[in-house]
Structure 1
Amino acid sequence: MPLFKTIDVNSQTTVKIWKITESFNVLKREINLKPENETRVLGMKSEIHQCGFLSVRCLLNKFGYKDSDLFYDVNGKPHLMDGKHISISHSFIFSAVIISNEPVGIDIEKQRDKIAVIKHKFLDYECSYLNENDADHIKQLTVLWCIKESLYKLYAMPGLSFKNHCLVIPFSNGEDVTAAWIDYNDLKTKFAVRYLEFEGFTCSYALKSI
């Protein structure tokens, strides 16, 4: 089965990434779903989303968990029954899961030109150090989106805005780690964020210490 990459971030935190090459039926045979999730996945109209859902459960298996160990709160944030922190992401043919003893967030995105059209919706301070003429502009925008999405998933607070409350410190090409801040409800919190790029995709994960 195509476990694409495992990253041991620290002694308490691990990232696993899955590359989806299997069909729905092949993935389905590898896992046991809760009855409600069986109904949910069969009701999905897109096989891409079905396979993304199943590949996340395959990643859970690689961590030693089952589908029944995962649940979601009223805000849609995932949790594990044993109290460990988890974050999940899926984009096209890749899925990612991060599990830690501390709050974490992860996001994976395909690098696409259309992100430039919506950058005004999620960037503010970051525009001061971005160069639209840079050959890697789309990649940089995707990194920033992924970082802010991972922060959003970690913080899990209704009303948090990518543009107004999440700030990413400048980083240069070749760097894969930087710092980011969430400034929300009169509380400023600093996070360490790291990203990686592969096969036209970007993945970022965030936690309070790396």
Structure 2
Amino acid sequence: MNSALNDQSIEIEKQGFNKLNSSLHYELNVSYPKVKCSGKIDLEHKINLDIQNILFMAINDFRSKISSVKAEKGAIGLSYLNLDYNVFLNDNGILSISFKKDTYYNGIDDISIKKLAYNYDVKNKRKILLNDLFLTDIDYKDQLFHLIKTELHHSGKVKKDVLNSFCIQKNGITFLLDKSKCKGKSCPDIVLVQWDKMKDILSEFGGEMLKN
């Protein structure tokens, strides 16, 4: 399945691989997006390199722990890393992708789920940071954190680092939740704060999202 960013001639193709390491007793199941940019090789290379770096970091962290545990304990059962992605937005020059890293170290830890986000401004060829979307002369983080807690109601207790992992959608900002960011049995996977609820604290760039 491809999703196209029409005005910037960008497409996303799903790629992936599976690898079993019999000596270290682990399995990698990886899916990732490959970006294709018609006539824009430099842009294509930049985004794909960013995505590859996310993959390499996830895989290297996993392998490093496997190696250290094996060195300490001698052997462990079959462990795995599952890495998958979801495209939240691929339109109007904005690319927003979430990554879900699911790891299990057999006999050592329970299943662990971590979520990462990648947001890119195709027109200006740069990663989008949270402070790009908000006014910098106010304490937007406190106001944003309050909005997140309001959206969650009593579903769970969030930490302020919930602001670190976000994806952009047409109707708002989606913050990615996992056990490290939200505590409670009823924590959802994501929490969405709509653009119109943030309109008073959005920067000029963030305001363009509201118009779209």
Fold conserved between structures, TM > 0.5: no
TM-score normalised over the length of structure 1: 0.31
Q: Which of these two proteins has the greater Rg computed from alpha carbons? A: 2
Structure 1 or 2: larger strand share? 2
Higher relative contact order, chain-length normalized (CA < 8 Å, sep 6+) = 1
